[in-house]
Amino acid sequence: MKILIIEDDLNKLQRISELIRERAPDAQVTERKSYQSGLKEALKEHPDLIVLDMSMPTYDISPTEKGGRTRPYAGREILSELKRKHVSSRVVVVTQFESFGEGVDAMTLSQLKAQLRADHAKNYLTTVYYHPSETGWRDNLIAAMSLATKTREQA
């Protein structure tokens, strides 16, 4: 199984990656840290599962690159590109935010989940709410990984 993690928060990335490697030791796990690098990898490799952050910078942050603008809906944009390019990867959104965007573009996590279900039903599996000091996210991500495996086997 090929799994792509697209996450810009290094602590969150490490914890998600450790969990995935523990639960799926035979999986080929790739990590990307921005919208551009994540999208490029997803379109090139067509992973079985993408664990996707919602808000992230446009580019990878480095000593010489500040990451460009922050994209509050980067994950949704990646889902749209997967749909447009007919990439069948299953996607689990893992976020630590309860609201997104600003002004007229603002929406709650519940609203975002409903929109993702409606607009990206072929790719989107679920959203896991991540909180660094709690462990419930782990069980929810494990359940989502199991669901991704079952849907892949049925395809």
- Give the pLDDT of the chain (155 residues) as one tens digit per residue: 999 999 999 999 999 999 999 999 999 999 999 999 999 999 999 999 999 999 999 999 888 888 888 999 999 999 999 999 999 999 999 999 888 988 898 999 999 999 999 999 999 999 999 998 999 999 999 999 998 887 666 65
- pTM metric for this prediction: 0.94
**Sign (positive/negative) of CA torsion 52, 54, 59, 62?**
negative
**Sign (positive/negative) of CA torsion 80, 11, 98, 94?**
positive
Distance CA 148, CA 142 (A): 10
Q: Supply the pLDDT for residue 149.
A: 80
Q: Is the Cβ–Cβ distance between 16 and 7 less than 8 Å?
A: yes
Q: What is the residue range of 71's domain?
A: 2-154
Q: Supply the pLDDT for residue 152.
A: 66
Q: Is the Cβ–Cβ distance between 7 and 30 less than 8 Å?
A: no
Q: What is the pLDDT of residues 124-149, one digit of tens each?
A: 999 999 998 999 999 999 999 998 88
Total domains present in the chain: 1
CATH number of residue 106's parent domain: 3.40.50.2300
Q: Supply the pLDDT for residue 67.
A: 86
